[in-house]
């Protein structure tokens, strides 16, 4: 199993409508990719701040794959590439954590 977690830091000048578009038309478009076994979209949790917790991101995704091959397939999938091309101007930073 491979767990792929991505934190998106969106531009501060985006409207609420643009953020909703990013989530609904962007992040949710990745869910049906066949190599994705489980998929979660989130926003920073409403927890008390702690020095070791980063709540500065706008959205996160966690995608679970069977293995590295599934992850690699996802990276070159046309839907994933289209998401990046369409929405890359929305973010200022992306941070990725992959774990096996």
Q: What is the pLDDT of residues 44-78, one digit of tens each?
A: 999 998 999 999 999 999 999 999 999 999 999 99
Instruction: Provide the token pair at 79.
Output: 């839907």
User: What is the reported pLDDT for 68?
Assistant: 98
CA angle 45, 49, 18 (to 5 degrees): 45
pLDDT > 70: percent of the chain: 100
User: What is the reported pLDDT for 88?
Assistant: 98
Contact status, residue 12 vs residue 66, Cβ threshold 8 Å: no
* Domain residue ranges of the chain, discontinuous segments joined by +: 18-47+64-94
**Average pLDDT score, the chain:** 98
User: What is the reported pLDDT for 92?
Assistant: 98
**Mean pLDDT for the stretch of residues 82-96:** 98
């Amino acid at each position: 199993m491979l767990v792929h977690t991505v934190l998106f830091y969106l531009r501060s000048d985006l409207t609420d409508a643009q953020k909703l578009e990013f989530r609904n038309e962007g992040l949710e478009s990745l869910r049906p990719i066949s190599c994705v076994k489980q998929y979660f979209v989130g926003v920073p949790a409403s927890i008390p701040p702690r020095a070791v917790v980063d709540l500065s991101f706008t959205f996160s995704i966690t995608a679970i794959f069977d293995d590295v091959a599934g992850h690699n397939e996802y990276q070159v999938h046309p839907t994933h590439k289209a998401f990046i091309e369409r929405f890359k101007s929305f973010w200022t930073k992306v941070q990725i954590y992959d774990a096996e």
